[in-house]
A and B are shown apart, each in its own frame.
Chain A
Amino acid sequence: MTSRDEILARVRRNQPAARELPAVPGFEQALPSPSRTFKASLERMGGTFFEPPPGTDIERLVRKTFPEAKVICSATVEVAGDRPIDLVREPAALEDVDVGVVRARFGVAETGSVWLSEAELKINALGFLAQHLVVLLDPADIVANLHDAYRHRGFFEAGYAVFMTGPSATADIEGVLIRGAQGIRSLTVVAAPRAAATLS
């Protein structure tokens, strides 16, 4: 008998009598302003939220925010950056990236999270090896809570998907909170409606 069959046989023999699977309600709540809730949640988790006036040049905004950055690598149409991500072959080649720029598929007001998959990141490591990350988010793409979020079809399509909520962090030594643990040191979410051409 293989280990697989042995384990499954023992589980089948031992599992308790069938119990019902409950439906998961949406726990809907009326949010007067999803982006205001999103901003408050994100800031609690150590992220920054920018709402630039319409028509702002995002590339200039990024360069102004990170004047010291030598390598900006963008996976968005709005920002050209210094290193075209389509030319990067290996994830380790992103090691020297100061600022990564990506566009989130959607955001979650409850937690201030942005959803990114390999379609948005192009190379998944961009979201973790870069020192800082700028995430463009269309305010129209903000859902209220995690129940809404987990009904998104992206979970059935993406090979890899991550809710990123603020920068990487640790409090493993005496509970002292360090923002910028091993992944990104800062997360800046920029409210930026999708350009017409990228509407999905």
Chain B
Amino acid sequence: MSPQAAAIEVGYEFPSVSVVVSREMISAYAAASYDFNPLHLDEDWMAGAEFGSTRFGEVIAHGLMTYSLVTRMLTDVVYPLGGWHERCEMRFTAPVRTGDIVTTYGVVNSVRTMGAQLLYAAAVRAERQDATVVAIGDAMGRVPIGPIRTRGTHRAASAGGPIKP
């Protein structure tokens, strides 16, 4: 069931998005984002490449893939409400490798009325299966106050990602 705009209040938790990151997913993301950095594609190079004192040892996922999964979590809720996803800020704090399960989280921590809309701020993050935070930040958006203006049936939630653990 889709949430009502009235549900967006302090403490509201956005339904998580969770994906198993495969080599194929990273390659598909590289192709769709046109970001062909060898960090994400070149296993041989990544086996030995050093980045200061860091050696990843294998390809890593794009940080913006995680950022986009967090955004998807937010738009899954906000768009059916006739709202707007207005801003997102994230720091990437740990790598995501193939086989990792990435799960996104978002909790509304501030709301205020802005004209006919409710402006909200949410703390967002993404974690690996071992609870390591791989990305953390803040998001901001608006939803209309009062009757929902969309007429279509919300299908985004059921049409969510194909890859779930």
Q: Do A and B bind each other?
A: no
